[in-house]
Amino acid sequence: MQPTNYQQLTRTFTRLARFGHLSAIAGWDMYTMMPPGGSQARSEALAELSVLQHQILTDQQVGDWLEEAEQEPLDCLQRANLREMRRHYQQAAILPAELVEAKSLAGSRCEHAWRSQRPANDWQGFAPNLQEVVRLSREEAAIRADTLGCSRYDALLDIYEPEMTSARLDTLFADLQSWLPQLLQQALEKQAQHPPVAPQGPFPVEQQRALGLEVMTLLGFDFEGGRLDVSAHPFCGGVPEDVRITTRYSEDDLFSALLGVIHETGHARYEQGLPREWSGQPVQLARSTAIHESQSLFFEMQLARSTPFLKQLRPRVLNHVADRPAFNEANFIAWNQRVKPGLIRIDADEVSYPAHIILRYQIERALIDGNIEVADIPELWDQKMQSWLGLSTRDNYRDGCMQDIHWTDGGFGYFPTYTLGAMYAAQLFQAARKALPTLESDIAEGSLNALFDWLRQNIWQHGSRFTTGQLIRNASGEDLNPAHFRHHLETRYL
C-alpha cells in the first residue's frame, strides 16, 4: 500500500529526530567531556550533520507532502503535528543557503573573538564583528518578515516564541515598568532592615554534587533517563529519553550551583514529561522557549525559593555540608530570597531580572528594525541601566553590553522569553495553588508529587499539541496576565 503524504512526513521527521539525537549528544559531549584537541573535528562533524538535516527538511518533496497532506483525513493530533511540521519546514526553507552559511560563519567569528574581547573590555574590536552579524540578521529578518507579513523583529521573535509580537511585548513590559521599579525599591528598603549574611565557603565540590543529586531526586528527576554533569555554561541538553543537565561549581558559593541545578531540573522534567508516544514528531517537542523557561523558573523561583521549600531544603543541605552561622533558618531563607540589583543578568534576582530583559529587548528591536546602529548600543545601555537600576556601565562594556553570548551569533529575539517565562511561571503556580488546596503544606512536608502531576497534566504531556495561548488558557483559565507575576513578587518581597 502506498504511504499517505502524512505518513511520508512522519517518516521524514522521525529520521530528522534521530539525527537530532546524535547532534544533541555530540553537542552535550562537546561542552562536558571533549578534550580541546577534538574541537576542530567535532565542529566539522556537527556542521556536516546540520547540512544534512537542512537538506532533508527543505527538500521540495517535503513541501509537496505538506500541501497534499492538508487534504488527507487526519485526526486532531495529526493536524497539530502537521501544523508544527509546516512551521519547521517554513522556518528552514525560507532562507537561501548562502545566507545561512554567511550568518553561521559571521556568528562563529564574532562569538569566538568575543571570548577574549569581553574579558579585555574591547568594544572597538567587538563592534565591527557584531555589525556584520546584525547586517546578516537584518537580512534574515527581512526575508522572514516578508513571508510572515510582520515586522522584521517580530519575524525573529517568532523563531523562539510563535504567536508573540512586539506590540504585545510592549503592553506586557509597560505593565511591568509601571510597578516594578517601585517594588524593587521597597524590597530593597525592607531588606536593608535585616540584611542577610552570606554563607562562607569553602564548599567542597563533591559535597555540592551529592547535594544536587539528592535535590534532583526530591524534584523527581528520572535518573534512568538523564544525568548531571559539569560545563562552563550550565544548560539542559540531550533528548527526552536521555536528558543531560549541567551545572558549574564554585567552592565559595553553595547556592549558585544548587539553584542552578534546580533550574535545569525544571527544564529536564519538562523534557522527560513530553509525550513519549509521539516520539520523533514535531508535536512531541516543547511548546516554546518561554514555556520551557516557565518550567525552569517554576522549579527555581516559584517552588525552590519559596519559604516552605527552603525550610525543607535546609536540613538536606546540612546532610552534605558542615553547618555555618549563616545557615540558621531565618538567614537561610532570607539569603535565598534576597534582592541585589547588579550589572550582570545571569546573577540577577527575580525582581531586578526583568530590567535586564526589557533593556535588551528595546535595544535589539531597534537594532533589527534599523532604528539604531551597533555604535549606539553602549550609550543606550548605560542610560537604561542608570534609569532602571541606578548603575553605570560607562566604559564598562565587559559588564555591560558585551556580557551575553546571545547577540554574538545572531540570537536576536530570544531575550524576551526569559521574562515571559517568569510571568508564565507565576501564572501557572497560581493556577496550581487553586487546583491543589493543600499545596503549601504539601511543599512544607516535601510531598511534591501532586504538584508535578499537575504540571504533567497541564503542560508536559501536551508537547506542542496546542498553541501557547491555548495551552496557557487550558492550564490557568486565562491568557498571559502579568498580574500574577506582580502578586508573586509583592507577596514574597514586600
CB of 30 to a copy of itself, least distance (A): 9
Q: Please tell me whether 67 is known to bind a ligand.
A: no
Q: Is 259 in the site for a copy of itself (CB under 8 A)?
A: no
Question: Which of the residues 38 through 67 are near a copy of itself (CB under 8 A)?
Answer: 38, 40-42, 44-46, 48-49, 52
Q: What are phi and psi of 17, to 5 degrees?
A: -65, -35
Q: Is 71 in the site for a copy of itself (CB under 8 A)?
A: no
Eight-class DSSP state of 346: G
CB of 245 to a copy of itself, least distance (A): 12
Encoded amino acid at 322, one letter: A
Q: Is 189 in the site for a copy of itself (CB under 8 A)?
A: no
CB of 23 to a copy of itself, least distance (A): 8
| Distance (Å, whole) CA 176 – CA 321 | 39
Judged by CB under 8 A, the stretch of 185-193, 235-243, 350-358, 437-445 that binds a copy of itself is 235-243
* Apex 418 CA angle, 110 and 19, nearest 5: 65
SS3 state of residue 47: helix
| Distance (Å, whole) CA 225 – CA 29 | 16
Can you read off the three cell numbers belonging to residue 9?
512526513
CB of 284 to a copy of itself, least distance (A): 12
Residue 75 or 224: the one with the smaller Cβ distance to a copy of itself is 224
Are the beta carbons of 358 and 352 closer than 8 angstroms? no
Q: Is 264 in the site for a copy of itself (CB under 8 A)?
A: no
CB of 52 to a copy of itself, least distance (A): 8
SS3 state of residue 95: coil
CB of 269 to a copy of itself, least distance (A): 14
Q: Is 98 in the site for a copy of itself (CB under 8 A)?
A: no
| Distance (Å, whole) CA 275 – CA 493 | 37
- Residue 148: which of 95, 104, 99 has the closest Cα? 95
Q: Is 225 in the site for a copy of itself (CB under 8 A)?
A: yes
Beta strand 242-247 with 226-230 is parallel
Can you read off the three cell numbers belonging to residue 444?
512544607
| Residue from 54, 88, 135, 227 binding a copy of itself (CB under 8 A) | 227
CB of 116 to a copy of itself, least distance (A): 13
Are the beta carbons of 352 and 184 closer than 8 angstroms? yes
CA distances 364 to 131, 360, 396, 401, Å, are 12, 6, 19, 11
| Distance (Å, whole) CA 271 – CA 437 | 27
Q: Is 343 in the site for a copy of itself (CB under 8 A)?
A: no
Establish whether the linkage from the previous residue to 202 is cis, with ω within 30° of 0.
Answer: yes
Eight-class DSSP state of 339: -
| Residue from 59, 170, 214, 241 binding a copy of itself (CB under 8 A) | 241
Beta strands across the sheet bearing 242-247: 226-230, 242-247, 236-239
Residue 45 or 198: the one with the smaller Cβ distance to a copy of itself is 45
Q: Please tell me whether 320 is known to bind a ligand.
A: no
Q: Which residues contact 234 (CB under 8 A, 6 or more apart)?
A: 245, 246, 247, 248, 260, 263, 264
| Residue from 147, 177, 185, 279 binding a copy of itself (CB under 8 A) | 279
Can you read off the three cell numbers belonging to residue 493?
518581597
Q: How many other CB atoms sit within 10 Å of the CB of residue 354?
A: 25
CB of 41 to a copy of itself, least distance (A): 4
Q: Is 101 in the site for a copy of itself (CB under 8 A)?
A: no
Q: Is 102 in the site for a copy of itself (CB under 8 A)?
A: no
Q: Is 113 in the site for a copy of itself (CB under 8 A)?
A: no
Q: Is 19 in the site for a copy of itself (CB under 8 A)?
A: yes
| Residue from 3, 18, 167, 370 binding a copy of itself (CB under 8 A) | 18
Q: Is 132 in the site for a copy of itself (CB under 8 A)?
A: no
Q: Is 239 in the site for a copy of itself (CB under 8 A)?
A: yes
Q: Please tell me whether 263 is known to bind a ligand.
A: yes
Q: Considering 84, 264, 271, 300, which one is annotated as catalytic?
A: 264
Judged by CB under 8 A, the stretch of 129-137, 216-224, 427-435, 469-477 that binds a copy of itself is 216-224
SS3 state of residue 322: coil
Residue 155's DSSP bridge partners are: none
Encoded amino acid at 133, one letter: V
Residue 226 or 341: the one with the smaller Cβ distance to a copy of itself is 226
Q: Is 466 in the site for a copy of itself (CB under 8 A)?
A: no
| Residue from 199, 212, 220, 226 binding a copy of itself (CB under 8 A) | 226
Residue 9 or 156: the one with the smaller Cβ distance to a copy of itself is 9
| Distance (Å, whole) CA 439 – CA 418 | 26
Q: Give residue for cell 512536608.
A: 445
Residue 214 or 222: the one with the smaller Cβ distance to a copy of itself is 222
SS3 state of residue 245: strand
Does 264 participate in catalysis according to the annotation? yes
Sites of contact with a copy of itself (CB under 8 A): 15, 18-19, 21-23, 25-26, 29, 33-38, 40-42, 44-46, 48-49, 52, 222-227, 238-239, 241-242, 279
Known binding-site residue numbers for Zn(2+): 263, 267, 293
**Binding site: which residues?**
263, 267, 293
Supply the residues annotated as catalytic.
264
